[in-house]
Chains A and B, each alone.
Chain A
């Protein structure tokens, strides 16, 4: 228990500035406080520090203009992706027959399904990562609270907003977008309730939190590259608005409709892949260039 508490102290103290973290951890070590009390003390300090950041106007603007809308949109897109993928997962997982492996037609169909599901999942992960990256790059200090609020918005979006949005959207398009309980796939509670939440946790919450951590360190990057990243992230988020299910329908502008249908800007959505690969290569080169410590 004590070891777990000290581990928690380690994790929680990361929310503090490095200099303050050292001073506080040193005070705790010197005073010989029990782990539980140390953790309580540290939590108190972190909460006070995070609360103090909200005296500024910028976090409030970020909350209203980014965290709430992005959380809502991503929960809707996530639910849409989960519903589309559920049919394929159900098809193979719940109706598996080993004899299918000998059928050449099955393999062709299987490859198409996997490509379709994977493409949707990667697109969703990239959008979620981009949203996290933008939030993280705005303020490094406030990232823990942004992360918590963003996850709360995702839960709220998944449970309340997405179902209502789909019900509203049905009025505008002539095909059902929300799962029909009469459908054999969505008759199963797993695909109707659990699967969308799992998709949201794995493909939205985790990548967005990772994106926040990456975004928090972006201030160290040189100015032109920093601007380029912001342009790519902004374009990707605009595409989230105009491309995904039904958002474009409410945007009546013809040129936006053409972008949506042509998907000409689609590659921009995958900029996080380029960024992460580029970052990994750079780090490896820097690692090779640094002489080994003796």
Chain B
């Protein structure tokens, strides 16, 4: 079973698709959670997800806006998609009928 932050990272990477890399994933998570995401948490979680075979990472080409430094690109694997689905389904099931679930629809 995934951890909460791992799920956030997988979801952000899946949403970004071809444009998924460190800084973009971080921005996506910060935008969704409205909380700061540290680079330490981001990169160590990315390593953990890669070790579990849930994502694949590789170094992209250097770009001028990054001071000529490459991006660490990320792609969610089929196993990663499956794990994210399992997590999402579990959260959806466990949330069914609770107060905040009902309020969410009202909001």
Chain A interface (Cβ within 8 Å of chain B)?
A: 19-20, 22-31, 41-42, 44-49, 52
Q: Could you say which residues of chain B place their CB within 8 Å of the CB of A49?
A: 44
CB distance from A293 to the nearest CB of B (A): 18
For B25, the closest partner residue in chain A by CB is A27
Q: Chain B nearest CB: distance from A28 CB in Å?
A: 7
Please tell me if B26 contacts chain A, counting CB pairs below 8 Å.
yes
Interface residues on chain B, size class: 20 to 34
The answer on a CB contact under 8 Å between B38 and A26 is no
Give the shortest distance, in Å, between A174 (CB) and chain B (any CB): 58
Could you jot down 15 A-B contacts, CB within 8 Å? A23-B21, A23-B43, A24-B22, A26-B69, A26-B70, A29-B65, A29-B67, A31-B26, A31-B27, A45-B38, A45-B43, A46-B40, A47-B40, A48-B44, A52-B44
**B residues with CB within 8 A of A:** 21-23, 26-27, 38-41, 43-44, 59, 62-63, 65-67, 69-72
In the complex the two chains form, what is the Cα distance from A46 to B22 in whole Å? 16
- Tell me the bound Cα distance from A25 to B63 in angstroms: 12
Main secondary structure of the interface of A (DSSP, over half): helix
B98 CB, min distance to chain A CBs, angstroms: 34
Cβ of B40: which chain A residues have Cβ within 8 Å of it? 41, 44-48
Closest to B47 in A: A52
Chain A residues, Cβ within 8 Å of B26: 27, 31
Pick the residue among A26, A44, A48, A52 that contacts B67 (CB under 8 A): A26
Cross-chain contact A27 with B22 (CB below 8 angstroms): yes
Q: Is the CB of A23 within 8 A of B44?
A: no
Contact A31 B23 (CB under 8 A): yes
Q: Contact between A23 and B38 (Cβ–Cβ < 8 Å)?
A: no
Residue contact A29 to B66, C-beta cutoff 8 Å: yes
B38 x A44 contact (CB < 8 A):
yes
| 6 shortest interchain CB distances as A-B pairs | A26-B69, A44-B40, A26-B66, A45-B40, A23-B72, A27-B23
Complex CA distance for A24 and B23, rounded to whole angstroms: 8
Asked whether A27 lies within 8 Å of B67 as measured between CB atoms, the reply is no
- Contact A25 B67, beta carbon cutoff 8 Å: yes
B66 surroundings in chain A (CB, below 8 A): 26-27, 29-30
Please indicate the chain B residues that have their CB under 8 angstroms from the CB of A24 in the complex.
22, 39, 43
Enumerate chain B residues within 8 angstroms of A25, measured Cβ to Cβ: 67, 69
Verify A22–B39 contact, CB threshold 8 A: no
Contact across chains for B59 and A44 when beta carbons are under 8 A apart? no
Expressed in whole angstroms, the minimum distance between the Cβ of A56 and any Cβ of chain B is 14
CB distance from B64 to the nearest CB of A (A): 10
B4 to chain A, nearest CB (A): 18
Bound-complex Cα distance A31 to B44 (A): 19
User: Contacts A31-B27, A45-B44, A52-B44: A26 and B71 contacting too (C-beta < 8 A)?
Assistant: yes
CA distance A20 to B65 in the complex (A): 18
Is B67 a contact partner of A23 (Cβ separation < 8 A)?
Answer: no
Q: A22-B69, A23-B70, A26-B69 are in contact. List 20 more A-B contacts (CB 8 A).
A: A19-B72, A23-B59, A23-B71, A23-B72, A26-B62, A26-B67, A27-B22, A27-B71, A29-B69, A30-B23, A30-B66, A31-B23, A31-B26, A41-B38, A44-B38, A44-B40, A45-B40, A46-B40, A48-B44, A52-B44
